[in-house]
Structure 1
Amino acid sequence: MPQHRRKIPFSNKKKKDQILAKRQSRTSSLYLKSYDSADEDETTEEAVGVQKLNSQPSSRVARNRNVNRYNLQFYEESKKEIELMKAEANIPLREVQKRDLEMTFKFFEGYDFPARPPWNYDMSRDELNRNENKYFREYVDNLSKLHKDENKRLSLFELNLETWRQLWRVLEISDILLIIVDVRYSTLMFPPSLYTYIKETLKKRAILILNKVDLVAPQTILAWKAYFKETYPDLPVVIFASNQTGKKKRGGNTATFQKRSYEGVLQVFKECQKMVQSEIDLTSWEAKILEDMRVEEEAGGSVEEHQTHIQSDDFNFEQHEAYKNGIVTIGCIGFPNVGKSSFINALKGRKVVSVSRTPGHTKHFQTIFLTNNVKLCDCPGLVFPSSTPKYLQVLLGSYPISQLKQPYPSLKFLGERLNLPKLLKITLPADYDDWTATALCEAWAYKKGFLTAKASRPDLYRAANHLLRMCLGGQLVLEFYPPGYVDKEEDFKNHPDIGDVIKFQGIIPGESVTGWEAAGGDEKGNSDDGEFSEDCSSDVSSDDEDSETGGRYRGNNAFSVLDD
C-alpha cells in the first residue's frame, strides 16, 4: 500500500461479490449479457448473468470431460427482481377459484425450441460445432430481444448447448418418442412445438405418458386424456404411476406399486406394437414384461441393481434409418422431475438409472437395451422456452429449490391454491392480521421446530423450502385441470372408465395410496373437509426420490374452509 494513504475498510459482503464476479468471468458462457427489460440508463448492478447450477470444482474430471459440461444453466435475477420477490412475502393471500386452475398451452404460445441446424457429411467436426454454437447464440439473442421489445421478462429455460445436443441426438436416432409429463401440470410440460417438430419435420410417431397418476383424482386423469385426444387425435396417451413416496409408512407395499408400473409398461408396449406392426417382432419384449411381472410378484417387490450403459459419444451425426439393424429405438424426453428415471427403471424391470428430485440429476445421454431388438434412449430433462413464471417453474421441479434466493413467490402461489392452514393444521401467528407467505412459513417453522441456532427465531427460509419440497414430492398436491373441466367434472366422475383408472391407481378400501384419498376423499375422489392422516407431518429433508416419507396432503381449494 502506498504511504500516507488511509486504509479503506473491506467488508465481507464486498469480498463475496468479488469472488462471485470472478466465478462468473471464468465461465465460458456466451450469454453473460443482460436481456432485462430495464431502461438503458440502469446501472450495471442490475445486469443479469447466467447461473450454473450443481457445479463441481473444475479440477474434477470424469472420463476426460469437464464434469460441469451438462449442468443446468439459467439466467440470474437482478437485484430489483429480488427486492420485488421479498415484497410479495408480506402480501395477503387471495382466494383462487377452482376454475382458475384450468390450464391451456398459453405459456408456450409464440415459442419454438432450438432444433439442430442443417448439416451434412462434408462438414468437419469443428465446422459443425461452430455452426451449432452460432445458431444457438443467435437463437437465444433473438428470443431475448423479442422479449425486451415487448417489455416482457424471459422465463428460465435451458442455456446449456451441450444438453440441447443430447436432445437432438435422441430425436435423430429414435423411431418412437415417448413424451413424459407430470399429470399434475400436463399442459405446462408439453411444448406443442416439440410435438409438431416430431410429427411434421421428423415424420416420426410419439406417445404421451401421463406420469404420477397416483397423485391426482381419477376424474382428473380422464379429463386430461380426453383433452389431449381431442387436441392431438393422432397422439396415443398412456397413464403411468412412477411415484411410491411414503408407501411404506402408510402400510402399502412395493409389490402393489410394481404391479401398477408393469401394467403401464404393458400399455406402452401395446402402443409401440401398433406403430411397428409387422416390421419388427416385439414378442420378446412382451414376454419379458410378463416374466418381470411374475418374478416381481414372487419376489415381493425386490429390486435388482444393474450398471447403466452411458453412451461415450452422445451427439455424433447420423442419418436416421427406421429400425436400423432390426432394432426399434425408443427415445424418452421431457422436463426435469417428470419421473423419467423411474419410468425407465420400470421399462427395464429393474433399477438401471438412479432417481432424484433434484433437477439436472440425469446428465448424460444413455442407451439401455430392453431386449435384443428394443433399445431405449434417455437424455437429461430440458426446460423448454416459454413464458411460465419462475415461481411456477419452481413448483414444476424445473428449478432446484435449494438454489432459490427468494422462495416466497412460489409459496404464495401455492398458498392461494391450497388451503395450507387447514391441511397443515397451523394457526395464524400472533404478529399477523392475515395469512401471507411469511405467516405460513412462521407457523410451519414453529410446528416443525425450525429455529435459528443463535436467537431461536423461526427459520422462515427453511420452512418455505420444506413446504415447496413437499409439493414437489407429492405430499402437498397441487394440480391443474384442462379447459372446461369444472363444467364437466361430474361427467368425468361418472365416466365408464373411472373404475379402471381407480384400479390402476391401486386404490382399495383401507389403503391410502393417493394424495386426494389421504385427504379424506371417497372412492371416486370426492374430498369432504380436506383432512389428512397424522403421518403426513413427517419431515422431508432428502432429495432422493426413493426415500421414505409420510402421506400426502390434499384438500379443497384454498380458502374454502378457513371460516370453519
Structure 2
Amino acid sequence: MPQARRKTPFSGKAKKQQLQCKKKNKTLLTTTSSGTSAYDVLSLNYQPGRSRGGRDTNRYALKFYRETDEELKMKKEEALKSLNPVPEKEMEVDPSDYFPKELSFPKRPPWDFNMTPAQLDAQEQKYFRTYIDDLQASDHWKDMSYFELNLETWRQLWRVLEMCDVLLLIVDVRYAGMMFPPSLYEYITKEKKSMILVLNKVDLVPASVVAGWREYFMTTCPGLRVVYFTSCPGYNLRGATSDKAGLQVRRRKGKQRMCAEGATKILEACKDIVQGEVDLGSWERKIKEETNIEFDDEETEVGETIIEKADTTYYAHEKYKNGVLTIGCVGQPNVGKSSLMNAIMGKKIVSVSRTPGHTKHFQTIYLTPQVRLCDCPGLVFPSKVPRPIQILMGSYPIAQLREPYTAIRYLAERVNLPQMLRIDHPENDDTWSPRDICDGWAKKRGYLTAKAARLDTYRAANSLLRMALDGKICVWLRPPGFTEQREKFETCEELKYIKWVQALTADDQVAVLSSSDDERSRSDGDEPDDDDDSESEDDDEFTAAIANKFAALAGDD
C-alpha cells in the first residue's frame, strides 16, 4: 500500500506570517481608547503576501471605515425609489458646509533632532490614535465621510509640507469645492509658505464655471494663486469631444505634446512667488523648446524614492536651499497629480492609474536643475462631503463598492441619464429609479450574470460610475451664487485664458456647453457608440492640427 507523501516542514515563524496575512486580508478592526472594538476599517487595494526586498507593498494601502450591514440594506431599498431631479441652483456648493473649522487634518507633532527614530515613531503613533479618538467623540463624527486612516500616508504629507517652498494643491474643477480643505490653506499660510491651487481637467466644464471657482477661491483665501490645467488640451485629442446625446468623448492621439499652456500658467505663478530669488529661466526655456515636440505616450522614465520602512525622518526647512525651488504636489486620489507632472515634464515620468492611491510612495523629480517636484500619495482629507460625491470624485475604488446605487442616484438626479445613454425603461414605465437606470444600461450593453443570465445590475452601475469618473458622463458643481452671476462669468476677461489652456476649437466649446442642457431634444435614429474603444473612420482620418497658443500669448500681458 503506497504511503502518503511526507509533510514538508512548516516553521512557527512561517505559520505566524500566514496568519498575519489572512488577518490583514480581512476587514480590520480599530479600537477606541477603552480598548473595545467600535468601527470596522476596510483596507483597500490590499495585496496579500506581496513584498519586494523585504518591503511591505501594503504599507500605504488606503484605509476607510466600512458601512454597517444595516446601512447597506437601507441604501439598497432606497435604490428602488424614484428619482427627484435637482434644479441647477441646488448644484451650487459652499465648501464651508463640508469643511467646518473644527475639522482639521492630522499635523505632525512637535519634534527635535535629539529624538531617536523609535521615539518619534511612538510619539506619532500615539498622536494619531488620539486624533482618531477625538474625531469619534466629536459632534461631526456621524456626518463624516471616508477619509485616510493610514498613518504612513499622512507621514508622506508631512514630509512634503516640510520640504516644499511652494505647495501645489491639485483639485478636479468639477468638484473643486469638495476637494479644497481650508485647514491646509491655513496651515501653509501660518508656516509663511505659498500655495498655488491648480484647477485641473478644465476641458470638461464650461469656462464660465472655471472662472466662477477662481473668483470664489481668490476672494475667500487671500494670497492664494489660482491657475488652470488640463493634460488633454485640444491638440492632444482627435475627433469630436462629445456625441449628439451629450456624452463626452476624449480620444488621445498616439503622439502627445507638452501641455505648454498649463505649464506656463504654473511657471508664471512661481515667478510671482520667488520674485527673482531663484533662477527659473531654465524652466521657461524648457517650455519654449518642447512646445511642439511630440513624444510617445508609452515612454516611461520613472524617478522615485522608495521608503522601505516607517518614514520617521525629519527635515529642517530652508527656503530655496542651494538655489532650488521645491514644489510639493498634493491632492486627493484621481485628481490627476501624476498626469499633471507628466504633462509638465513633456514626457511620461510617473506611472498613471485610475485606481485611487496608485501613487504609493514619496517621489522626488527634478524638472530642471533649479526646480524640484515632490509628489505625495493621494490623500482623502477629513470632511463632511457626502459619500456619493466622494465615489464620483474617485476617492473610493469603484470596483470595491458594496453599494453603488446611491452614487447612481446622485448622478441621475443631476444629469438626464436615460436621454444621454438612450436607454429604454426595463418595465416600460415613465418613472425612473437608480435600479431602473442600471437595468436599462445592462440590457443595452448585454451585461448578464454568468449562471442565471439575469441583468447584471451591479456591473452596469460600475460601468456608469467609471464613465462619470473618466468624464464621459460629466457633472460639475457650481460655486455659491453662480446662477445669479452667470452672465458676469460668461462675459468676463478671464475666459480668454481659460480657453487658451483648454486649447479647444469653437465647435468643441459649443459641445461642452450643450452637454449640460438636460432639456436638449432627442435626435431620432441616432445611436451612441456601444463600444467605448471603437472609433469611426472619420476620427482615424482626423488630422487637422490645432495651433498651440503659446506663441500667440507669449507677449500678452
Structures share fold, TM-score greater than 0.5: yes
Q: Which residue identity is paired with 2:208? A: Q
Inter-CA distance 507–347: structure 2 relative to 1 (3 Å threshold): closer
Q: Distance in 2 between matches of 1:51 and 1:451?
A: 29
Q: Which residue identity is paired with 2:204? A: L
Contact 2:418/2:424, CA 8 A, preserved across alignment:
yes
Inter-CA distance 486–34: structure 2 relative to 1 (3 Å threshold): farther
The residue aligned with 1:307 is 302
Q: Which residue identity is paired with 2:426? A: P
Gaps of 5+ in 2: 1-17, 242-250, 535-539, 541-557
The residue aligned with 2:9 is none
Q: Which residue identity is paired with 2:92? A: E
Q: Distance in 1 between matches of 2:533 and 2:64?
A: 26
Inter-CA distance 454–490: structure 2 relative to 1 (3 Å threshold): same
Q: Distance in 2 between matches of 1:67 and 1:302?
A: 27
Partner of 1:412, secondary structure, is: helix
Q: Which residue identity is paired with 1:288? A: K
The residue aligned with 1:9 is none
The residue aligned with 1:434 is 431
Aligned residue runs from structure 1 range 460-479, under 5 A: 460-479=457-476
Shift of 1:305: 2.4
RMSD: 3.0
Q: Distance in 2 between matches of 1:493 and 1:270?
A: 25
Q: Which of these residues, 118, 135, 144, is aligned with residue 154 of structure 1?
A: 144
| TM-score, scaled relative to structure 2 | 0.83
Q: Which of these residues, 270, 273, 280, is aligned with residue 271 of structure 2?
A: 273
The residue aligned with 1:324 is 321
Partner of 1:336, secondary structure, is: coil
Inter-CA distance 70–244: structure 2 relative to 1 (3 Å threshold): farther
Q: Distance in 1 between matches of 2:118 and 2:29?
A: 17
Contact 2:29/2:39, CA 8 A, preserved across alignment:
no
The residue aligned with 1:368 is 365
Q: Which residue identity is paired with 1:224? A: W
Q: Distance in 1 between matches of 2:317 and 2:39?
A: 40
Inter-CA distance 412–439: structure 2 relative to 1 (3 Å threshold): same
Q: Distance in 2 between matches of 1:173 and 1:94?
A: 48
Q: Distance in 1 between matches of 2:173 and 2:529?
A: 22
Contact 1:54/1:71, CA 8 A, preserved across alignment:
yes
Q: Which residue identity is paired with 1:61? A: S
The residue aligned with 2:159 is 169
Shift of 1:318: 1.4
Inter-CA distance 387–526: structure 2 relative to 1 (3 Å threshold): closer
Say whether 1:228 aligns with 2:217: yes
Inter-CA distance 244–75: structure 2 relative to 1 (3 Å threshold): farther
Say whether 1:352 aligns with 2:344: no
Aligned residue runs from structure 1 range 331-480, under 5 A: 331-430=328-427, 432=429, 434-480=431-477
Shift of 1:266: 1.0
Which portions of structure 1, spanning 4 or more consecutive aligned residues, are displaced by more than 3 angstroms? 19-30, 32-35, 243-259, 301-304, 311-315, 518-521, 525-528, 530-541
Q: Distance in 2 between matches of 1:540 and 1:288?
A: 34
Shift of 1:498: 2.1
Say whether 1:240 aligns with 2:229: yes
Q: Distance in 1 between matches of 2:521 and 2:373?
A: 41
Q: Distance in 2 between matches of 1:239 and 1:536?
A: 31
The residue aligned with 1:50 is 41
Q: Distance in 1 between matches of 2:492 and 2:255?
A: 25
The residue aligned with 2:511 is 517
Q: Distance in 1 between matches of 2:410 and 2:167?
A: 33
Say whether 1:132 aligns with 2:129: no
Contact 1:407/1:461, CA 8 A, preserved across alignment:
yes
Contact 2:297/2:348, CA 8 A, preserved across alignment:
no
Q: Which residue identity is paired with 2:160? A: V
The residue aligned with 1:538 is 531
Q: Distance in 1 between matches of 2:520 and 2:30?
A: 50
Shift of 1:129: 0.2
Shift of 1:347: 1.8
Inter-CA distance 412–72: structure 2 relative to 1 (3 Å threshold): same
Q: Which residue identity is paired with 1:163? A: T
Partner of 2:170, secondary structure, is: strand
Q: Distance in 2 between matches of 1:365 and 1:455?
A: 47
Partner of 2:149, secondary structure, is: coil
Say whether 1:219 aligns with 2:199: no
Q: Which residue identity is paired with 2:300? A: E
Say which is worse superposed, 21-30 or 189-198, in terms of deviation. 21-30
Shift of 1:427: 2.1
Contact 1:423/1:530, CA 8 A, preserved across alignment:
no
Contact 1:244/1:257, CA 8 A, preserved across alignment:
no
Per-residue CA shift, 1:203-225, capped at 9, x if unaligned?
10010000000000111111111
Q: Distance in 2 between matches of 1:308 and 1:151?
A: 39
The residue aligned with 1:199 is 189
Shift of 1:387: 1.1
Partner of 1:130, secondary structure, is: helix
Per-residue CA shift, 1:352-383, capped at 9, x if unaligned?
01111110111000000011121100010100
Q: Which residue identity is paired with 2:193? A: K
Partner of 1:274, secondary structure, is: helix
Gaps of 5+ in 1: 1-18, 542-547, 549-564
Per-residue CA shift, 1:228-287, capped at 9, x if unaligned?
11111311110001247994464876499735x211101111111111122111111111
Q: Distance in 2 between matches of 1:69 and 1:98?
A: 42
Aligned length in residues: 501
Per-residue CA shift, 1:136-192, capped at 9, x if unaligned?
000011101114xx6724321000000000000000000110010000000100000
Q: Which residue identity is paired with 1:396? A: M
Shift of 1:63: 3.8
Inter-CA distance 185–257: structure 2 relative to 1 (3 Å threshold): farther
Shift of 1:509: 4.2
Q: Which of these residues, 90, 102, 113, is aligned with residue 105 of structure 2?
A: 113
Q: Distance in 2 between matches of 1:28 and 1:475?
A: 33
Q: Which residue identity is paired with 1:54? A: N
Contact 1:208/1:237, CA 8 A, preserved across alignment:
yes
Contact 2:169/2:331, CA 8 A, preserved across alignment:
yes
Q: Distance in 2 between matches of 1:531 and 1:310?
A: 53
The residue aligned with 1:80 is 70
The residue aligned with 2:134 is 142
Shift of 1:24: 4.5
Inter-CA distance 418–21: structure 2 relative to 1 (3 Å threshold): farther
Per-residue CA shift, 1:482-518, capped at 9, x if unaligned?
00000011221122332442243122145x4x7x715
Q: Distance in 2 between matches of 1:112 and 1:266?
A: 33
Inter-CA distance 168–293: structure 2 relative to 1 (3 Å threshold): same
Partner of 2:459, secondary structure, is: helix
Partner of 1:48, secondary structure, is: strand
The residue aligned with 2:552 is none
The residue aligned with 1:184 is 174
Shift of 1:22: 9.0
Contact 1:156/1:390, CA 8 A, preserved across alignment:
yes
Partner of 1:377, secondary structure, is: strand
Contact 2:202/2:502, CA 8 A, preserved across alignment:
yes
| TM-score, scaled relative to structure 1 | 0.82
Q: Which residue identity is paired with 1:206? A: M
Q: Which residue identity is paired with 2:257? A: Q
